[in-house]
């Protein structure tokens, strides 16, 4: 496995943003933050959009795309954010991978949504086939 290094929300965080090999990409929990400035987007909807742009960027650095996501784990910080997050994900996620969602606390204050993903490079519209 190779590591794709990107800024993390905590100094000396004991994890990598992404690991990948020739076929698989694992992206760790990502929030709707501009990691360079350490600024969160304001609303749950805006955080979800920024989170997905971050994930898209990490996948691309590992040779992957959003349509190659095969599984995700989604954490939403409160029921009041659930509708906005689900609506926004439905708009920006190009496929319907398997996934798990839960309501739970997120380590960064005022982060309303966090997602980790697993992608398979040989999966997706541009990879020579669809679901296998």
What tens digit of pLDDT does each residue of 16-59 get?
788 899 999 999 999 999 988 889 999 999 999 999 999 999 99
Q: Give residue for tokens 């290094």.
A: 5
Tell me the mean pLDDT in the region 63-87. 97
Tell me the CA distances in angstroms from 24 to 1, 54, 60, 122, 127, one per residue in order.
9, 18, 12, 9, 13
Mean pLDDT of the chain: 89
pTM above 0.85, yes or no: yes
Domains and CATH numbers, the chain: 2-120 (3.30.1330.40)
Backbone angles phi, psi at 75, to 5 degrees: -115, 130
**Which three-class secondary structure state does DSSP give residue 31?**
strand
pLDDT at 7 over 60: yes
Of the CA atoms within 13 Å of residue 74, those in its CB half-sphere come to 23
């Amino acid at each position: 496995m190779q590591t794709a290094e990107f800024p993390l929300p905590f100094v000396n965080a004991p994890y990598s943003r992404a690991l990948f090999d020739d076929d698989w990409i694992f992206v760790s929990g990502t929030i709707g933050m501009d990691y360079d400035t350490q600024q969160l987007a304001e609303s749950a909807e805006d955080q979800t959009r920024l989170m997905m742009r971050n994930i898209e960027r990490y996948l691309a650095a590992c040779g992957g795309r959003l349509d190659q996501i095969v599984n995700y784990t989604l954490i939403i910080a409160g029921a009041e954010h659930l509708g906005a997050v689900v609506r926004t994900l439905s708009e920006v996620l190009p496929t319907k991978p398997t996934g798990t969602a839960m309501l739970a606390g997120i380590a960064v204050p005022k982060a309303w949504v966090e997602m980790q993903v697993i992608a398979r490079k040989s999966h997706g519209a541009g990879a020579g086939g669809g679901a296998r």
